[in-house]
Chains A and B, each alone.
Chain A
Amino acid sequence: MSNSPLVEVRGLKKQFGPTVVLRGIDLIQSCGECVALIGPSGCGKTTFLRCLNQLETHDAGTVRISSLTLSAGETVPGSKLQQLRQTAGMVFQQFHLFPHRTALENVMEGPLHVLGTPLAESKALAHGLLAKVGLADRAHFRPSQLSGGQQQRVAIARALAMGPEILLLDEPTSALDPELREEVRDVLVRLGDEGMTMIVVTHDMDLARRLADRVLFFADGVVAESGPAEEMFTAAKTDRAREFLRRVRG
């Protein structure tokens, strides 16, 4: 990889109607780095993440991921959008697996139909990824036959199947029962160890601590504090961050 950072966000702003959600966010992230976004509900973390792959359009600022740059107000051609979304894979809080397809077909869907990879190759890839998330034996199950944790692991495999340079994770463990969270955390931590670049929005502090190299604390549409994970969790500088961390730890 080149020396320039993989993600470069400058002055990103977003508002919904009269409500200003993001007031100017900057983020520089290098390849292989894992960033956790934490903060109280409604502070704009998820919106920021969705702006990165343009499920939401931003009102001001620029986003660059890998070689793709998006300025506010520009009409983005469809092909560029698709390219962006192939570069930045996404995992949703509610998994959003395709219920009419098996786990294997969910994972194959992208390579086979979007990238045009031959069937046999897509299938081998999908089997490999399912094995990687520990679901080799569940390949032919429908989502409705899988537990929440298993569904989320399939969703991760589905995102990885597109060969993304970065993974955007929107509260990947929030919809899961506590005992199922661990299996998803394990998969993500292993991915991070392998050098995957990730941005994870989360309320799951165990996940943030294990996964993140750096933590950004969002409050009222700005990054109120940021720093190395260890430092944030032990010695946050601002009162708000300390207060927030004390509360989520219970």
Chain B
Amino acid sequence: MNAAPLSSLPNPLGFLTYKNERARPNSGSFWSFPLFFSPHNPLSPLVDPVCPARWGGRFRILSRFNYPGRSRPVFSLRLLWLCLVSIVAARADTWTDIQRRGVLRWGGDAEGGAPYVYHPPNDPDRLTGFEVDFAEALCKRLGVKSEFVQFGWNNLVPGLQQGGNYDVIIAGLERSSENLAKIAMSRPYFAFGQQLVTRADRPQVLQMADLGRGSVGVLSGSSSFHLASAQPGLQVRVYDDNVNYFKDLELGRLDAVLTDTPIAQVNLAGNSKLRPAGPPFEFGYYAVGIRSADTHLLDRINGAIEVLLVDGTLEKSYARYGLWNAEQAALSAWKPASSESSPTSGGRRSALREWRTYLPILLRAAVTTVWVTGAGMTLAVAWGALLALVRQYSPKPLRWAAIVYIEVFRGTPLLLQLYFIYFGLAQQFGWNLSAGLAAVLALGLNYAATEAENYRAGLEAVPRGQTEAALALGMTRGMAIRRVILPQALRISLPSVTNDFIAMFKDSSIVSVIGLMELTKEYQIRGLDTGDYIGVGLMTAAIYFVLGYAASLGVAVLERRLR
């Protein structure tokens, strides 16, 4: 299974513009009407081929607004375009386009993709990997040129379904019934299995059941993820790449990693700290993903793969990566199962109709969101109060330290701080924090800076006369602050603190990058599973809203009692 480091949410309305394979990239003027909305247009609102997947979903979406001179397209225009297209344009097979173009564009993800598709460290401009070799051999066989298109791995299938700026997917895409329900898939070009990997110091682990209630790292949205999730008691930690879970396994933050055999093979080579736990299992195939309507293209590709398997071309190139084995040799004799399903209704399921299945899953993820936010905000409130007091009342060197802390933590991105705390501290000092602790620390330390400023505003808003009245009663300065100033300052800053609580509630989605399965990540995965981004999205939004609104109501009661 190939890997996208950070998956992103596709535009939830994007599917409305499904169409238009015939528009050619970079042809026509920027403002010409169909091309403007075309996925081939690099400035299209639908796909963003410019922005590398590693920047992550939230940044990718923002980057759409960063192009100069273009305002956001109006929804009704898109709808109109959809109608026009569906009436006028009868789609031709993509194979015709490929032939006319002389180029086959294949979508994949080069991020963390060894041995699939990757930039070798000694030559970062070049692309290599067994899938690059496969794609090139395939294109040669078809008589066209090969062109790689970078796309976030998680969204390759919906991207292809919605038009995409690539003709096929070659990205360790599994020939699974889920994928076959959404798109057509060629005959297999690679056979893989699931490999459980653990540390060398845990010889007793031979299968997932041996892990008990331990933790296992998997790639987001992969078949490993589904397998691990089905194992009762196991704590599943989701990663967006296939590098960091091995790192965390070495550091002892994980008990095991479940991944595809090629990835395990690459990462186990020369690593004495890790070892395979038992033999590979749950075998499957990688196949080329093709739009379900492209039957000609499917036939051509199937024919080409068969030739490449029989004439030894694939054997030669796979052997170079040490990947040729008996399973690959058996591929040439492969026959599709007679019961194999053909794509139906684009593979979209209605999550709303199946809410009994999906709501509990989302609620479980919401528990993580709630405790991370709860603990993070508790830390932020306490640490922020201390910072505000130091900034306001302590002697100069300490005061400066507080100001520096506040400015630094307020002025740098939360994501950066999170990476720094989770990976940076482990790398530099060997401080091996758990993901939960790192998440709470990052959120708490970051928000403490904001809270400190909220409290300062509150402290400054308490009239001077209050301090004098307290002192005139014979109180010490500390007592005056504690008994008279702070309670009033707290009441003044309460609305801003509530605001920040709700903001953190939503910001906590960022902790998924260190493998915590929280609500937004669950949404992303289930949206991908079902193809129903709106249905799952509505349920997710409802959970966020209910929890956030409950928090505001709670604070409103508190505020009334403090008045």
Are A96 and B468 in touch, CB under 8 angstroms? yes
Given known contacts A158-B473, A162-B473, what 17 new A-B pairs fall within 8 Å (CB)?
A78-B476, A78-B477, A82-B475, A83-B474, A85-B472, A86-B474, A90-B472, A92-B468, A96-B465, A98-B484, A100-B487, A100-B491, A110-B474, A113-B479, A113-B483, A114-B475, A159-B473
- B467-509 CB mask vs A (1 if < 8 Å, else 0) is 0111111111101000110011001000000000000000000
CB contacts (< 8 Å) of A109 on chain B: these are 473, 483
- A63 → chain B closest CB, angstroms: 16
Q: Does B466 contact A (CB under 8 A)?
A: yes
- For the complex, is B337 an interface residue (Cβ under 8 Å from A)? no
B: number of interface residues (CB 8 Å): 21
Kindly list chain B residues whose C-beta atoms are within 8 Å of the C-beta of A55: 468, 471-472
A57 within 8 A of B: no
Interface residues on A, range: 20 to 34
CA distance A99 to B463 in the complex (A): 11
C-alpha spacing A78/B471, complex, angstroms: 11
Which 3 pairs across A and B sit closest by C-beta, in order of nearness?
Answer: A96-B469, A90-B472, A96-B465
Report whether A98 and B465 are in contact in the complex, using a CB–CB cutoff of 8 Å: no
Are B473 and A85 touching (Cβ within 8 A)?
yes
Chain B contacts with A in 516-563, Cβ cutoff 8 A:
562-563
User: In the bound complex, how far is the Cα of B491 from the Cα of A98, in angstroms?
Assistant: 13
Write the nearest CB–CB distance from B462 to chain A, whole angstroms.
Answer: 10
Chain B positions 449 through 464: 1 when the CB is less than 8 Å from some CB of chain A, otherwise 0: 0000000000000010
- Determine whether the beta carbon of B476 is less than 8 Å from that of A82: yes
Interface status of A94 (Cβ within 8 A of chain B): yes
Residue A53 lies at the interface, judged by CB distance under 8 Å to chain B: yes
Which B residues are within 8 Å of any A CB, using their own CB?
463, 465-466, 468-477, 479, 483-484, 487-488, 491, 562-563
A221 contacts partner chain B, Cβ-Cβ < 8 Å: no
Cβ–Cβ contact A98 & B469, under 8 A:
yes
- A89 at interface, CB cutoff 8 A: yes
In the docked arrangement, what's the CA distance between A94 and B491, Å?
Answer: 21
Please, how many angstroms separate the alpha-carbon atoms of A72 and B187 in the complex? 98
Interface residue ranges of A72-111 to B (CB < 8 Å):
78, 82-83, 85-86, 89-90, 92, 94, 96-100, 109-110
Query: B488 and A99: CB pair below 8 A?
Result: yes
Name the residue on B nearest A91 (C-beta): B472
Once the chains are docked, how many angstroms separate the CA of A132 from the CA of B475? 24
**Chain A contacts of B563 at CB under 8 A?**
142
CA A98 – CA B466 in complex, angstroms? 7
30 A/B residue pairs, CB under 8 Å, sorted by A: A53-B472, A55-B471, A82-B474, A82-B476, A83-B474, A85-B471, A85-B473, A85-B474, A86-B474, A89-B472, A92-B465, A92-B468, A92-B469, A92-B472, A94-B465, A96-B463, A96-B466, A96-B469, A97-B469, A98-B470, A98-B484, A98-B488, A100-B488, A100-B491, A100-B562, A110-B474, A114-B473, A114-B475, A115-B474, A162-B473
